[in-house]
Structure 1
Amino acid sequence: MKRMTKGWLALNKSSLVYDRVANGMGIVAEKTENLIHKLFYQWGLLVVIVGFLLGRAMILSELTPFVLPFLAAVFMIKRERAGVASISLLAGALLSYHGEFIFVLCAIIGYILIQKLVTKFFDDPVKLLPYTVFVTSISTRLLLVFIIDGSITNYALMMATVEAGLSFILTMIFMQSVPLVTSKKLQHPLRNEEIICLIILLASVMTGTVGWSFYEMSVEHVLARYLVLIFAFIGGAAIGSTVGVVTGLILSLASVASLYQMSLLAFAGLLGGLLKEGKKVGVALGLLVGTLLIGMYGDGAANITVTLLESLVAILIFMMTPKEMISKLARYIPGTTEYSKEQQQYLRKIRDVTAGKVEQFSTLFQTLSQSFQTGANVDPSLEDEERQFDYFLSQVTEKTCQTCFKKERCWVQNFSKTYDSMQNLMLETEKNGHVKDKVLQAEWKKYCIRPEKVIDTIKQEHSSYMVNQKLRKQVMESQKLVADQLLGVSRVMGDFAKEIQKEKQAFHNQEESILEALRSVGLEVGHVDVYSLEKGAVEIEMSVAFDEGHGQYEKVIAPMLSDLLSETLMVNSEERAVYPNGYSHVTFVSARRFVVETGVSHVAKGGAWISGDSYSTIDLGSGKHAIAISDGMGNGERAHFESNETLQLLQKILQSGIEETVAIKSVNSVLSIRNNDEMFSTLDLAMIDLHDAHAKFLKIGSIPSFIKRGSQVIKIEASNLPMGIIQEFDVEVVSEQLKPGDLLIMMSDGIFEAPKHVENKDAWMKRLINELTTQDPQEVADVILEKVIRSGRGAIEDDMTIVVSEIKSNTPKWASIPIYKQTRTMRKKAQ
């Protein structure tokens, strides 16, 4: 036991030591990284190194076009580093092999002077920067030639012009690439142009290493191949071969003996990019194969051993390069996995920020709703009623008892009796409008010396008291309505925030399977995007060749997808020829289990043109379907305006996602506030869920609806006042489970109340519906309207509207087309 305890303690000590060492190494690594960043970016060491190498660089054996563009770019982008850049350029020129120190010194001085003149006389010196560099370069070079040789030959003029022209171009290139090496963190992904500019800058820097060698191996060759390895590993064959061509071209200009390097680097970049799936080993193998194949020809054949050793050294450095450094660079190269992750992370951050803002607004509206609800839900307590009564009595006594000489006897000596007596008078006045009780009146006359004045004052103040109480109640009702509306908005915004935060799942395998299956039968499909494979909520988008209106999306593609996913799909939307290649954008979604077919018949009072009734069928999305009838009070244009306005308001609020009851209360609030001439409207609303055929009925002042199910007729009714009469009311919701084949019959009061001779209109309407011999919704509506009009001997005494909807199981037009049975497991893989 003691041995086990000692062993356990030793193990704990060793783990603690390991954790401390690991933490210490992590801290050291972090401090080292921070120190490197401080050296290179804050202290400008990177500018010093680049400037030194560019100061040494030369092309065509006599031109130094890199000095002025680099100085100008640093001067414009990071002016505080201009002095360091100038010193490093001069140091590079002083220690170089080309002997152009005087030209570099004069060019730097000349650029500073000309740049000051340009800044003084022009508003935008950045646009003129290439021209400033061109003028400085050509004037400095020609001036030195004239001083040294005494004359300027055509050859000297030509070379000076070429050098100035290269400086002109390099200035524009360096203006894009210098920020990439002077900034600690790039602010955006690199465009293709910026990548090329960066490669040109790096290749130009490498030319500063011309002449450096160890064990007969050239430093510029090793660095160039290392650069090709890095970019081939990050960007693939396209980027790798491009980097090889650009780097080889610039190195061949710096040293004619390195002309074959362009072919070697380009071929190595191409092979390395093609073999990047083999990780670093594959890219390195590409460089070795390219070195062996190209190195056997031209000038490289004589030194194949040295060339191979240069490639091996470059591979060694490449293998030692930290993975984190390569990943950081890959984030800014379009097309790489790291770039995609960086973009997704950025989009996720934007999405989270947006969702957070929406949630904040949702919480704000919820808090406001609670504050209004708190005031609205406070019931008038006994203490509050006594306070209101005391305020009422103070108004009465101020006009009566304050000037009475018996005030002290009544309100000091006999306070309780006086208070109770006046309270009884008030209650009697509130009950009958005046003091009707003779006994109470006689007792008061015995007690008070001004009885009539007090009673009259109580009558006057009581009317004001009742008005205040009514206003107070209305304010509380309005607070509750506002609270409900704010709570509805809060819920909508909360749901919206959740939708924003939903991430698109990755269905790469399923997308490839669908694409392969569709293309295998000859369909021209560009791409497939699967957004959801959830049962009943499938959503797939794709680009397909335009079918000239033959309906192949509905007749061919949707049935194929239905077989692949074992679920019926249908075309939801189609945008023709939206892509540059003429392809159409088509969206496929899960077919709903039920559909609603609607028929409508209506007629205005007396056969007029304008009816006071309005109806609407609304597709609310998410598988919900609404049917509504509104009957404006009266007839004619004004009644039609009221009923139509009710439905328009309701449709907009429902489509925003607010709950049905809150939507109706909101519409009622608007109408009650707006109506000053007692124009009211009824509302009959049915909300049908097309996924399970469950229906909700909300009836505001409307007559019953009926459901015909075979030989059975079901009555749906609720009791609510018409909209706009009062500001606060409770919406009664009636639920009913519909079945396939059901007929939902909704009508206005003009239909239901038309037969004047009938006492039991419910039984009469049920018998009329039960005697129908057709199931077609339009025919049912026409037949009922005709029989109702005939029952009144052809007289149309009110606006009549009837809406008949049949609930049907959704049977697809086209059967599924079986293909690739093995792909039917896609949904299982996704789950």
Structure 2
Amino acid sequence: MKSRDTAGAAQSGYLLEYGRRKIRVCADTFQNLAQIFGEDEEEAQGEDGADARQARAVYMMRKRLAEGRQLFAGNLKEMADMMNHVADESVRFISLGNRRQKQIMKGLLGEGLVARDIYLVQKGDGRMELSILLSTKGRASRTVEEAADYLSVLLDMRLMSARRNPFFIGQDPVCFFFEEEPFYCYMTGTARAAKETEEVSGDNFAFFEADDGNFTIVLSDGMGSGEEACRDSEAVADMTETMLEAGLPLEMAVQLVNSAVASEGKEGNMPTLDLCSVDLYEGSCRFMKTGAAASFIKRGSIVEKIDGGTLPLGAFGHAQPRPVECQLMDGDYIIMLSDGMTEGWPGEDGEERLETLLGCIGSVSPAEIANTMMKYAIEQCQGRIRDDMTVLAAGIWERNRE
């Protein structure tokens, strides 16, 4: 039996490496294409006596074509980087042994669940994932949360259902995935106000948790205000959420969104992008800002300011904003703002005064923090709302492990 397990492991390793090689070949192809499209063409010199207006039109056309080639080359390079990132991911199959698998199947059968094909996988970051084929015995259905509780006891490991699982387990066998439960949990709160002359806000945001255990906050402030600004910032927030939920790294997602905005060619369309991604297993977080206002981390009465980026989306080429990394602790709060929260204050010191206010607020819910800051900002502007205002707050706590 041991030789059969060894042969199976060797075959799985070979297939995994074969897939990686195929992905890397595709990545190299995209890299080569990126170099070809990214090569600068020599600018043709205008002939003597040529019409100045016609020469300028030709120059502008060539400039737009060159910019389009550079954007396309950047996108190809990003595709290659994404493929290499996937190929570099490592997993290790952990054999449970026939005896252990039979114990698990017998335990689940006692709870009305029929199980087979149980695989335990350790990912490159050390986190465990379990895949198992489940169906119900008889007509009674079970929820996937119930199965997670049973498996946690049988494997002596805190497991939770993966987000991609169906909610119910039925009579037809389906492969379910279970992951280690994150060490941290969170709660969110928001407060927002539209510019007093507009019906809709030009700010859009999203809170979401991806399958890799990262909780992400996205805030985008559209250029100007009103419906057009709302459409621009909504598109940025939606694109960013889709890419990060698909597993793309933070830097790559920002660069792809920037390329999408730049390719539209609208000079007045330069929304901001403010990102904070929290690793719920480690408690670390990363901020990435393009033209965004400052953010804050509140730890009791101590407040740390995270300065905003200088350029909005579409205003830079392929240079990426530098991420700011921080380590969170139990009870910390993350606060993110649109620039309407800090502009128009007497003395132009909105950021400093909000930072002072945060240090005076006690341990309350994220919603209370957001509402308190919004109320205070409007009061300082004498009740006027001259720009869209948004506050996003998230509290991070350690889970009760008992």
TM-score band by shorter chain is 0.7 to 0.9
Is this contact kept in 1: 2:198–2:225, CA < 8 A?
Answer: no
- 2:265 and 2:242 map into 1 onto residues whose CA distance is 20
Unpaired stretches in structure 1, ≥5 consecutive residues: 1-276, 278-336, 379-383, 400-456, 816-831
- Deviation at 1:517? 4.1
> Is 1:646 matched up with 2:209?
no
| Aligned residue among 764, 768, 776 for 2:357 | 768
The equivalent residue for 2:212 is 622
Q: Map Cα deviations across residues 491-524 of structure 1 (whole Å, 9 max, x no partner).
A: 333454567x9685543433223223445xx322
Q: 1:686 to 1:474 in 2, by over 3 A?
A: farther
The equivalent residue for 1:537 is 128
The 5-angstrom pairing of residues 235-274 of structure 1 reads: none
- Deviation at 1:705? 0.4
- 1:739 and 1:549 map into 2 onto residues whose CA distance is 40
Which shifted more, 360-369 or 712-721? 360-369
- Deviation at 1:677? 5.8
Q: 1:548 to 1:600 in 2, by over 3 A?
A: farther
Q: Map Cα deviations across residues 507-553 of structure 1 (whole Å, 9 max, x no partner).
A: 3433223223445xx322311443225353232425253896886x6
**What SS is found at the alignment partner of 1:605?**
coil
Q: TM-score, normalised by structure 2?
A: 0.81
Q: Map Cα deviations across residues 31-82 of structure 1 (whole Å, 9 max, x no partner).
A: xxxxxxxxxxxxxxxxxxxxxxxxxxxxxxxxxxxxxxxxxxxxxxxxxxxx
Q: Percent of counterpart pairs with the same letter?
A: 26
> Is 1:791 matched up with 2:380?
yes
**What SS is found at the alignment partner of 2:219?**
strand
Is this contact kept in 2: 1:574–1:587, CA < 8 A?
Answer: no
| Aligned residue among 23, 32, 36 for 1:367 | 32
| Aligned residue among 227, 251, 256 for 1:637 | 227
- Deviation at 1:466? 12
* RMSD of aligned Cα (Å): 3.9
Which shifted more, 702-711 or 668-677? 668-677
- Deviation at 1:693? 1.9
- 1:767 and 1:571 map into 2 onto residues whose CA distance is 41
The 5-angstrom pairing of residues 287-686 of structure 1 reads: 357-372=22-37, 375=39, 395=47, 398-399=48-49, 468=59, 475=66, 481-496=71-86, 506-509=95-98, 510-519=100-109, 522-534=110-122, 536-543=127-134, 545=136, 554=145, 558-559=148-149, 561-572=151-162, 573-580=165-172, 587-606=177-196, 608-676=198-266, 678-686=268-276
- 1:742 and 1:467 map into 2 onto residues whose CA distance is 57
**What SS is found at the alignment partner of 2:210?**
strand
- Deviation at 1:348? 9.2
Q: 1:466 to 1:586 in 2, by over 3 A?
A: closer
Is this contact kept in 2: 1:478–1:728, CA < 8 A?
Answer: no
- 2:103 and 2:379 map into 1 onto residues whose CA distance is 63
Output the amino acid matched with 1:651.
E
- 1:762 and 1:799 map into 2 onto residues whose CA distance is 16
Output the amino acid matched with 1:523.
E
Q: 1:761 to 1:549 in 2, by over 3 A?
A: farther
- 2:74 and 2:333 map into 1 onto residues whose CA distance is 34
- Deviation at 1:632? 0.8
- 1:712 and 1:348 map into 2 onto residues whose CA distance is 50
Is this contact kept in 2: 1:576–1:585, CA < 8 A?
Answer: no
**What SS is found at the alignment partner of 1:526?**
strand
| Aligned residue among 339, 350, 353 for 1:749 | 339
More helix by share: 1
Is this contact kept in 1: 2:354–2:373, CA < 8 A?
Answer: no
Q: TM-score, normalised by structure 1?
A: 0.42
Q: Map Cα deviations across residues 592-645 of structure 1 (whole Å, 9 max, x no partner).
A: 122232111112112854111100123332122221111111211111001101
Output the amino acid matched with 1:539.
L
Output the amino acid matched with 2:113.
V
**What SS is found at the alignment partner of 2:105?**
helix
Output the amino acid matched with 2:186.
V
**What SS is found at the alignment partner of 1:365?**
helix
Unpaired stretches in structure 2, ≥5 consecutive residues: none
Is this contact kept in 2: 1:528–1:540, CA < 8 A?
Answer: no
More strand by share: 2
The equivalent residue for 1:65 is none
Q: Count residues with an aligned counterpart.
A: 390
Q: Map Cα deviations across residues 544-576 of structure 1 (whole Å, 9 max, x no partner).
A: 53896886x646x54554355443222333442
The 5-angstrom pairing of residues 721-732 of structure 1 reads: 721-732=311-322
Task: Considering Cα pairs closer than 8 Å and 6+ residues apart, tell me whether 1 or 2 has the greater RCO.
Answer: 2
- 1:471 and 1:560 map into 2 onto residues whose CA distance is 65
